[in-house]
Amino acid sequence: MLHLLQKPLETAKPSRRTFLKMSAGTVGGLIIAMKLPNMAEAATGEFVQPFVHIRPDNTVVVIVKHLDKGQGIATGLATLVADELDAAHAQVTTEFAPSNPAVYANTLFGVQGTGGSTAIPNSFMQYRQAGAAAKAMLVAAAAKDWGVPANEITVSQGTVSHASGKSASFGELAGLAAEQEIPAEPALKTPDQWVYIGKSFPRVDSKNKSVGAPNTYAMDFQRDDMLVAVVARSPRFGGTPVSFDPGEALSVLGVVDVLMIPTGVAVVAKSTWPAIKARDMITIEWDDSGAEMRSTDAMMAELAEMAAKPGLSVRKDGDAQAAIENAAKVIEVDYEFPFLAHGTMEPLDVVMAFDGSKAEVWSGSQIQTIDHNVTAAVLGIEFQNVAINTLWAGGSFGRRATADAHVYAEAAMLAKALHEKGTSGVPIKLVWTREDDMTGGYYRPMSAHKVKVGLDDEGNVLGWSHRMAAKSIIKGTPFEPMLMKDGVDHNMTEGAQDTTYAFPAMEMDQHLAETKVPVLWWRSVGHTHSGYVMETMIDRLAKEAGKDPVAYRLEMIKDDPRKANVLKLAAEKAGWGTDLPNGRYRGVAVHKSFGSYVAEVAEISMDEDGIIKVEKVVCAVDCGIPVNPDNITAQIEGGLGYGLGAILRNEITMTDGVVDQTNFDTYEPIRMSDMPEIEVHIVQSTEAPTGIGEPGTPPIGPAVANAIAAAKGNWVTTLPLSKHDLV
Amino acid sequence: MSITLKVNGEPRTVDVDPETPLLWVLRDELKMTGTKFGCGIASCGACTVQWDGMPIRSCQTFIGDLDGAEITTIEGVDGKAASAVQAAWQELDVPQCGYCQSGQVLAATALLEETPKPTDEDIDAAMDGNVCRCATYARIRKAIHLAAEKMEG
């Protein structure tokens, strides 16, 4: 944790310079194919290119440069390659790429990493080109072997054939294909030729994940000589260990060592349970002199106070203040949003083996280049002496994408300490228990918004003034130069500052608060709160104007036809405006995030006690060309469910700096009985594909809040809903 | 302490602290990692296994209480209901991150063995203890209904 680790991480954090250096390998265009040093493999009959391997047994292996944490990118990238290659679904498998930013960088980040719903957008051309190049080389190989012109050869469902009757499998041609010239610009299919894109390509991981297959996640890593470590960390953010008494910890069967590292006191054991058991037996003295000692109530009061005053300007169109002063009516609303934990099903974990000169890592690494760099820096070895084996991750929702790679730093500190004590080269599995994760920070930042809107006497917006305060996720990280300008964090106010509602005048300010509580991207980031504010405010204004909420929105998004289109589609499919049975209410929200447009119509029931249940949600999504429609549906279902769980009853609070929620009993996740029926309608678009992992999340909160307002006449402005006796 | 129990029909003897949760015996001693660690307090169901056919939380079941017990894990679950559930899970592409799915499959199998034609209310009651942070619940529900159809056919 950065807050516990100022000194070690000063050297461990990638500097702006190293960050740029790491990314230099990809400047100047996409890498799709290259002569590799291990091209000797071709002699064994295998086709080996950075993104596609074809084995003599006819398996096509798509090399996945991104982390698949459930969002389905392994399947997505396989879909792109298989389509251009004309492979059969059954012959396609995937493997995660090694950590190598020169080849596997996210072309939108410049480093190898997954996030911001960019995996398909940055890979769409690259992986199609890689598939097309491999196909061209198979065709060239067949042409040479058969002595026929290449343009007479066809490829379909994994078979290369010629009218003469000759045909071969990919596996049979792989070795010869590897020796063919790599096409500089392989011809891509036109959309009408696609066989999988926009149609169907079932997941590559469903079977393994339905049968509990081994070696899937880092948590599953096993080796006979492996050690397991858990760490007792400060109960307060910013606290540091001073001394410890191991008590009876060393006498627990299986415990190997108890040692202090900069983040806390670690128990190292031969297996997991003894480490967890022994940790409770240690007494630790903490230095809280630099720790966050406040309660969240005090932090929220500070944010509200900040939001009451002008801050750093992020948008100023027209004179909103004057418009509000001269308005017929002014609506002013304050919003408060809590810290949220990600709660990935697989708790945080990293396996690392260090022999004094080289290190190997097994983990669900999300930003490999940073994880890699931090590991090397903490161990004091060169970048090239670290190898990262990326595994499937049991969820992330942003939690595994850390700018400080703190779990890797902690694992490296342990590995280094154990090496110095004589335990060298064995894999150490660092496990964060659920409690460690829940109380360990890196939350969605808590925030306060203040919105003031001036209306004319017909309820039309004249001016919109919007201020928000929160801790910046970006400030102080290697991402700062990329995502902050003139001290302004555009991640924080996204979804509000860039709204396409046509307001005659709009101003938005932000305040960057400080706290030792580490904060992080949480599925859809700024949109989680800004989307809620925008869409509940608009609903409130529609009511002021005496207009239908859908019609009122459409009037203000005439210049944003894709947004208007999804709104109309969701409204139509949900039967917007039609009668509902007693006790049922509808609410609508539409929001653009990560380039994609999603509208959701929520139908809720409310019982006599005012308790709500979300019964049904009808969604419309436009994410450009729908690469894998079933996965888009799955991501909308899941993204919506993830957001719904949070607004129903999730918040992280602190009392005197100590986190109150410790596990799923006090941070109650969404469960089967909470889940609505969901309908997803996908717009058939020809625009470039945009994100889908996150855009389903922002609209659900406001859609439900607007349905509650339809029932009760007022809008919830402090979340979660459980604070208001609604669940 | 030496304890002998049957795991997926095979007798297994382990020599561990009797307070060790079954979860960690399965994962670390027997190297059967299909059963997952999610919360450690029986709140999420990722560690679900069957004890004499009943779904239990292995993170709160202690090995000292299991001498002679018959345990079924995701690695060994079979029979008509289990096959139908695993087939339906794949047919509908239920898993996303997949980490909870071993537990979901075990819980759904136990439900269908008891109630071959469950209603939505039956599914809510049987599955509410199994958390999926990817919120694949809508597909789990559909897949349980599909598995029920497969069992009839």
Angle at A128 between CA A193 and CA A565, to 5 degrees: 70
State mean pLDDT over A701-713. 98
Does the beta carbon of B57 lie under 8 angstroms from any beta carbon of chain A?
no
**Phi and psi dihedrals of A230, rounded to 5?**
-120, 155
Give how far A545 is from chain B: nearest CA, Å. 37
Q: Which two tokens stand for residue A696?
A: 């389903």
Residues A70 and A189 placed together within one structural domain of the fold = yes
Q: Which two tokens stand for residue A561?
A: 């036809």
**How many whole angstroms separate alpha carbon B45 and alpha carbon B39?**
8
**How many whole angstroms separate alpha carbon A587 and alpha carbon A167?**
58
Give how far B48 is from chain A: nearest CA, Å. 12
Q: What does the pLDDT read at residue A100?
A: 97
Q: What does the pLDDT read at residue A2?
A: 29
pTM for this structure?
Answer: 0.95
- Residues B95, A670: C-beta atoms closer than 8 Å: no
**Cβ-contact A431, A474 below 8 angstroms:** no
| Chain A residues 584-643 within an 8 A CB cutoff of chain B | 630-631, 634, 637-638, 640-642
Buried b / exposed e over A56-82, threshold 16 CB at 10 Å, is bebbbbbbbbbbbbbbbbbbbbbbbbb
pLDDT digits (tens, 9 = 90+) for A78-118: 999 999 999 999 999 999 999 999 999 999 999 999 999 99
- Residues A217, B94: C-beta atoms closer than 8 Å: no
- pLDDT score of A9 more than 70: no
Does the beta carbon of A343 lie under 8 angstroms from any beta carbon of chain B?
yes
Q: Is A165 left (phi over 0), alpha (psi -120 to 50) or beta?
A: left
Query: How many helices (H) and strands (E) are present in chain B, helices listed first?
Result: 5, 5
Residues A570 and A709 placed together within one structural domain of the fold = yes
The amino acid at A223: R
DSSP letter for A199, please.
S
pLDDT digits (tens, 9 = 90+) for A335-387: 999 999 999 999 999 999 999 999 999 999 999 999 999 999 999 999 999 99
Residues A424 and A458 placed together within one structural domain of the fold = no
Q: Which two tokens stand for residue A615?
A: 């019964």
User: Is residue A14 domain-resident?
Assistant: no
Last residue of a domain, one of A153, A178, A210: A210
User: Is residue A325 domain-resident?
Assistant: yes
User: Is residue A315 domain-resident?
Assistant: yes
Higher pLDDT, A486 or A58: A58
User: Is residue A5 domain-resident?
Assistant: no
pLDDT > 70: percent of chain B: 100
Please report, for residues A292, A294, B144, the alpha-carbon distance to residue A238 in angstroms, rounded to integers and kept in the order given.
6, 12, 47
Interface probe with A: pick from B27, B58, B85, B99, most Cβ of A within 10 Å? B99
Residues A118 and A253 placed together within one structural domain of the fold = no
Contacts of A431 in chain B (CB under 8 A): 37
Nearest chain A Cα to B128, which residue?
Answer: A672
Residues A173 and A228 placed together within one structural domain of the fold = no
- Residues B97, A670: C-beta atoms closer than 8 Å: no
User: Is residue A56 domain-resident?
Assistant: yes
- pLDDT score of A19 more than 90: no
- Residue ranges of domains in chain B, CATH in brackets: 2-72 (3.10.20.30), 80-152 (1.10.150.120)
Does the beta carbon of A394 lie under 8 angstroms from any beta carbon of chain B?
yes
Q: What share of chain A is helix, strand, coil (3-state, %, to 5)?
A: 35, 25, 40
pLDDT digits (tens, 9 = 90+) for A502-522: 999 999 999 999 999 999 999
Residues A226 and A206 placed together within one structural domain of the fold = no
Q: What does the pLDDT read at residue A33?
A: 56
Nearest chain A Cα to B105, which residue?
Answer: A210
Q: What residues have CB less than 8 Å from A219, skipping those under 6 apart?
A: A346, A347, A349, A394, A429, A431, B33, B36, B37
State mean pLDDT over B39-63. 97
- Residues A664, B41: C-beta atoms closer than 8 Å: yes
State mean pLDDT over A634-649. 98
**How many whole angstroms separate alpha carbon A656 and alpha carbon B136?**
37
Residues A449 and A415 placed together within one structural domain of the fold = no
**How many whole angstroms separate alpha carbon A499 and alpha carbon A591?**
9
Q: What does the pLDDT read at residue A478?
A: 87
- Residues B135, A642: C-beta atoms closer than 8 Å: yes
pLDDT > 90: percent of chain A: 92
Burial of A389 per CB tally in 10 Å (0-12, 13-18, 19+):
middle
Last residue of a domain, one of A177, A192, A210: A210
- pLDDT score of A8 more than 50: no
Q: What does the pLDDT read at residue A29?
A: 43
**How many whole angstroms separate alpha carbon B23 and alpha carbon B8?**
14
**How many whole angstroms separate alpha carbon B150 and alpha carbon B153?**
5
Residues A61 and A185 placed together within one structural domain of the fold = yes
Angle at A180 between CA A176 and CA A181, to 5 degrees: 170
**Cβ-contact A630, B5 below 8 angstroms:** no
E strands of A626-669, at which residues? 654-655, 658-659
**How many whole angstroms separate alpha carbon B137 and alpha carbon A544?**
38
Contacts of B109 in chain A (CB under 8 A): none
Note down the domain range covering A116: 31-210
Contacts of B29 in chain A (CB under 8 A): 271
Does the beta carbon of B145 lie under 8 angstroms from any beta carbon of chain A?
no
Last residue of a domain, one of A372, A397, A431: A431
Give how far A657 is from chain B: nearest CA, Å. 23
**How many whole angstroms separate alpha carbon A598 and alpha carbon A167?**
46
Give how far B92 is from chain A: nearest CA, Å. 9
- Residues B29, A208: C-beta atoms closer than 8 Å: no
| Lowest-pLDDT range of A33-42, A457-466, A697-706, B129-138 | A33-42
Contacts of A678 in chain B (CB under 8 A): 138
Contacts of A216 in chain B (CB under 8 A): 98
- pLDDT-derived band at B91 (thresholds 50, 70, 90) equals very high
Provide the number of structural domains found in chain A: 3
- pLDDT score of A564 more than 90: yes
Residues A330 and A470 placed together within one structural domain of the fold = yes
- Residues A642, B133: C-beta atoms closer than 8 Å: yes
User: Is residue A437 domain-resident?
Assistant: no
Q: What does the pLDDT read at residue A43?
A: 52
- Residues A394, B127: C-beta atoms closer than 8 Å: no
Q: What does the pLDDT read at residue A299?
A: 98
Helix (H, G, I), strand (E, B) or coil at A672: helix
**How many whole angstroms separate alpha carbon A329 and alpha carbon A514?**
35
pLDDT digits (tens, 9 = 90+) for A642-697: 999 999 999 999 999 999 999 999 999 999 999 999 999 999 999 999 999 999 99
**Phi and psi dihedrals of B94, rounded to 5?**
-65, -50
Give how far B14 is from chain A: nearest CA, Å. 14
**How many whole angstroms separate alpha carbon B3 and alpha carbon B8?**
16
Q: What does the pLDDT read at residue B1?
A: 83
Contacts of B31 in chain A (CB under 8 A): 214, 222
Chains A and B form CB pairs within 8 A to the count of 184
pLDDT digits (tens, 9 = 90+) for A174-221: 999 999 999 989 999 999 999 999 999 999 999 999 999 999 999 999
Q: What does the pLDDT read at residue A66?
A: 98
- Residues A212, B38: C-beta atoms closer than 8 Å: no
Q: What does the pLDDT read at residue A38?
A: 46
Element containing residue A372 per DSSP (H, E): helix A368-379
- pLDDT score of A1 more than 50: no
- Residues A638, B21: C-beta atoms closer than 8 Å: no
**How many whole angstroms separate alpha carbon A448 and alpha carbon A455?**
23
Give how far A607 is from chain B: nearest CA, Å. 18
Closest in B46, B101, B135 to A638, CB measured: B135
Q: Which two tokens stand for residue A508?
A: 């938005």
Interface probe with B: pick from A430, A670, A672, most Cβ of B within 10 Å? A672
User: Is residue A22 domain-resident?
Assistant: no
Q: Which two tokens stand for residue A62?
A: 């798509």
Does the beta carbon of B1 lie under 8 angstroms from any beta carbon of chain A?
no
Q: What does the pLDDT read at residue A491?
A: 87
- The CATH number assigned to the domain holding A60 equals 3.30.365.10
Query: How many helices (H) and strands (E) are present in chain A, helices listed first?
Result: 20, 29
Residues A547 and A664 placed together within one structural domain of the fold = yes
Does the beta carbon of A362 lie under 8 angstroms from any beta carbon of chain B?
no
Give how far A437 is from chain B: nearest CA, Å. 10
Give how far B74 is from chain A: nearest CA, Å. 6
Q: Which two tokens stand for residue B34?
A: 């299909």
User: Is residue A422 domain-resident?
Assistant: yes
Nearest chain A Cα to B16, which residue?
Answer: A253
Q: What does the pLDDT read at residue A31?
A: 56
Nearest chain A Cα to B21, which residue?
Answer: A273
Does the beta carbon of B29 lie under 8 angstroms from any beta carbon of chain A?
yes
Up-side HSE of residue A607: CA atoms within 13 Å toward CB?
8
DSSP state string for A557-581: -TT-HHHHHHHHHHHHHHTTTS---
State mean pLDDT over A557-575. 98
Contacts of A226 in chain B (CB under 8 A): none
Give how far A24 is from chain B: nearest CA, Å. 32
Q: What residues have CB less than 8 Å from A5, skipping those under 6 apart?
A: A12, A262, A263, A404, A406, A409
Q: What does the pLDDT read at residue A32?
A: 57
Residues A311 and A352 placed together within one structural domain of the fold = no
To the nearest whole number, what is the mean pLDDT of chain A? Answer: 94
Token pair 């011809």 is found at: A187
**How many whole angstroms separate alpha carbon A49 and alpha carbon A38?**
10
Q: What does the pLDDT read at residue A213?
A: 98
Give how far A381 is from chain B: nearest CA, Å. 31
Residues A519 and A592 placed together within one structural domain of the fold = yes
Q: Which two tokens stand for residue A66?
A: 């991104």
Q: What does the pLDDT read at residue A540?
A: 98
State mean pLDDT over A472-477. 95
